[in-house]
Amino acid sequence: MEKIILAAHRGDRAHAPENTLPAYKAAIALGVDGLEVDLHTSLDGVTFMMHDHSFDRTTNGSGATHEKCWEEITALDAGAWYAPEFAGTRVPTLEDTLKLAADTPGLWVNWELKDYPEIVGEEMAFRTVRQTIEGLFRYHLEERSMLNSFSSPVLEYAAHLSQGKIQIHGQGVGSTSKMRGPVTRDITEYWDWACVYPIEKGTYPDEKEYAECLALGIKPCICLPDTEEIMSRQIQLGCLMFTSNDPKEAIRILKKLGKR
């Protein structure tokens, strides 16, 4: 059986508030291969887990992620917006997530670096990269991790610091690239994975998009709705990893397709 790697997008966000420890633990309990998580750094240098560039959507706070100190962030409620039973859930730190990964044998993590130089400045963006990589080496997680970003400068810096010991994951190739910022390196020199995007908006990736990725020697993955029709077609096209918004449903489908 050729197994398809399954990652939980921000944890099991179908059943718990995204990018929180309950969401991560729920996904682990389901038996996913890995987690996809998002990282920002506070004004005073604490790296923490959150997707958006503001606190408005997933906490009871507001404002830009890089403009608050950790003392303010740790007081936020990151669960009540999702459901009453999650009220009081806190924003987890990078350290919290590193410990969880280290304590879960075999689990790997796709760490998405969300601080971009054009938003927070190069110094803070690169600080997020450094603190993440330092944490991965400190917890001996480099072989169970990949570093991901939509920012070319951030990914180039991450690849430089990780010295080939941590896999690099980019966003789209060629005509479907979603990368932002100046480029100084050929992606074939350091990308291991790429999320495949469709050429035409409102469609799903097909032969042309996969061929473009595979021709570069980069492994293709996707983040699409968890339906049997979509997943089956993407597997036929050569997808090797799914990032799922509903890992319970994705596991059911992959088992039915004989890929788990």
Q: What pLDDT sits at residue 3?
A: 87
Contacts of 202 (CB under 8 A, 6+ apart): none
Total count of residues recorded for the chain: 260
C-alpha 109: how far from its chain's center? 8
Specify whether the backbone of 149 is left (phi greater than 0), alpha (psi in -120 to 50) or beta. Answer: beta
Predicted confidence band at 2 (pLDDT cuts at 50, 70, 90)?
Answer: confident
Is 134's pLDDT higher than 70?
yes
Q: Can you give the pTM of this predicted structure?
A: 0.97
pLDDT above 90 covers a percentage of the chain that reads 97
Nearest alpha-carbon partner for 121 in 74, 155, 160, 153: 153
pLDDT digits (tens, 9 = 90+) for 187-243: 999 999 999 999 998 899 999 999 999 999 999 999 999 999 999 999 999 999 999
DSSP 64: B
Which H or E run includes 255? Answer: helix 247-256
Nearest alpha-carbon partner for 41 in 88, 76, 91: 91
Contacts of 34 (CB under 8 A, 6+ apart): 5, 6, 7, 8, 107, 108, 109, 110, 144
DSSP 246: S
* Torsion 146-150-152-158 (CA) sign: negative
Q: What pLDDT sits at residue 150?
A: 98
Q: What pLDDT sits at residue 238?
A: 96
C-alpha 237: how far from its chain's center? 22
Q: What pLDDT sits at residue 83?
A: 98
Residue-wise DSSP of 167-211: EEEEE--GGG---BS---S-GGGT--EEE---SSTTS---HHHHH
pLDDT digits (tens, 9 = 90+) for 106-128: 999 999 999 999 999 999 999 99
Give me the chain's average pLDDT, please: 97
pLDDT digits (tens, 9 = 90+) for 154-179: 999 999 999 999 999 999 999 899 99
Measured CA to CA, the distance from residue 171 to residue 150 in angstroms comes to: 6
Measured CA to CA, the distance from residue 82 to residue 15 in angstroms comes to: 9
CATH number assigned to the domain comprising residue 50: 3.20.20.190
Q: Which residue has the higher pLDDT, 88 or 201?
A: 88
Q: What pLDDT sits at residue 1?
A: 59
Q: Which residue has the higher pLDDT, 201 or 68?
A: 68
Domains contained in the chain, number? 1
Specify whether the backbone of 215 is left (phi greater than 0), alpha (psi in -120 to 50) or beta. Answer: alpha
Domain that includes residue 133, residue range: 5-256
